[in-house]
A and B are shown apart, each in its own frame.
Chain A
Amino acid sequence: MNRTLAAALLLAALPASALLTSTAQKTEQVAKVSLKVGDAAPDFTLLSDQWKTVKLSDYKGKKNVLLAVYVLAFTGG
């Protein structure tokens, strides 16, 4: 059920981005996230802003995780 819901949301998001990318050429330049909904998320260990290591698997069985990949957060543009 979760999977169905998330897949529906994903599909709903795609037409919006398709509208933004007006040409087929531009669409080809966008790398595809190789993960799919329903896949096991690859584990990773990264440094936090407090210089502590954070492992994705630390949250397993405890919390849902929202990863927001936010590039150029500092720039004015």
Chain B
Amino acid sequence: MDSPAANAAFAKEAKIKFPLLSDMNKKMLTAYGILKGHDVQGDTYEWAQRANIVIDKNGIVQHIEEGDSAVNPNNALSVCTDLHKKQSAK
């Protein structure tokens, strides 16, 4: 949940060409159910867990990967590649 300014600095440093989105008020994370509660020193804080989600051209969810394995984007990327091949073949 970094700010747009923080994301811009990161995008520049890492030469990232795709949009980096900020969900400062957690609206998308809430809608997608990605927030996770953490108990820290008796208080509960919510922050997102890592997740990769592939949505096809029709707005339908095609792939969900969450937790530690979602650090690696290869599964999600292969879903995207397969989707693209199928759509190109039509």
Which of B11, B35, B79 has the largest count of A CB atoms less than 10 A from its CB? B79
Q: How many residues of A contact B (CB 8 A)?
A: 54
The 9 closest A-B pairs by CB, nearest first: A34-B33, A49-B7, A44-B28, A46-B21, A48-B19, A49-B8, A31-B36, A69-B51, A49-B20
Across chains A and B, the number of contacting residue pairs, with CB separation under 8 Å, is: 177
Q: How many interface residues does chain B have, given as a range? A: 35 or more
Which residues of the other chain, A, contact B70 by a CB distance below 8 angstroms? 68-69
A25 at the interface (CB under 8 A from B): no
Q: CB distance A35 to B32 under 8 Å? A: yes
Task: Answer yes or no: B31 CB below 8 A from chain A CBs.
Answer: yes
